[in-house]
Structure 1
Amino acid sequence: MKGWSAKAAALAFFAGAIIAAAPVAAEPTYACTAQAEGHLFQVPYDHPSDPGSFYQCRGGAWRLIGICTPQGGCPTPPDPTGPIVEM
């Protein structure tokens, strides 16, 4: 029985380490307020195939407007005075 407990503890530790090492979906670091309306914010990731998510502050909320890629860069931002665009 002792062997199973040790194996279960090791497995739980390993699973926790994997989850902790996975990239976390990040959000912009400041609030989307009326003063920030139209601001763009790129949240970078430390991964060569996913340089980050691109957000725009519209209507009091951060809207995901695209994912940036190493080959294509970030998408063209929408018009800040146009309709709200979100992925």
Structure 2
Amino acid sequence: MFTVILTICAKLAGAVTFWQGFAIAFGLMVWIGAYDTLFLDWVLFANMKMFRLEGTEHMDKAYHQKWFHLKGAIFPGLLFALIPAAIVGLFISLMG
């Protein structure tokens, strides 16, 4: 489902080649990963216990490990972002 949404976004952005679709999808994935890490992990979950997963409300130290969250966003986060980006690129090239 996420790949379909990314494909629609890439098409709306004007992608017509594999590499254009790939770049737009990968850029969106990087943007989503940055939002997840910088806002959700570092600000929201770390500072507001009401948004934490049930049973982890007491894990303040774990929620404040910024380097842990950043490393997860870079690897495997960016590595896994290559997969849907490549699929979007393929879909865009097939739509031609």
User: TM-score if structure 2 supplies the norm length?
Assistant: 0.26
Query: Greater strand percent: which structure?
Result: 1
> Which gives a bigger RCO, structure 1 or 2 (Cα 8 Å, sep 6+)?
2
Query: Relative to total residues, which structure has the larger helix share, 1 or 2?
Result: 2
Is the radius of gyration larger for structure 1 or structure 2?
Answer: 1
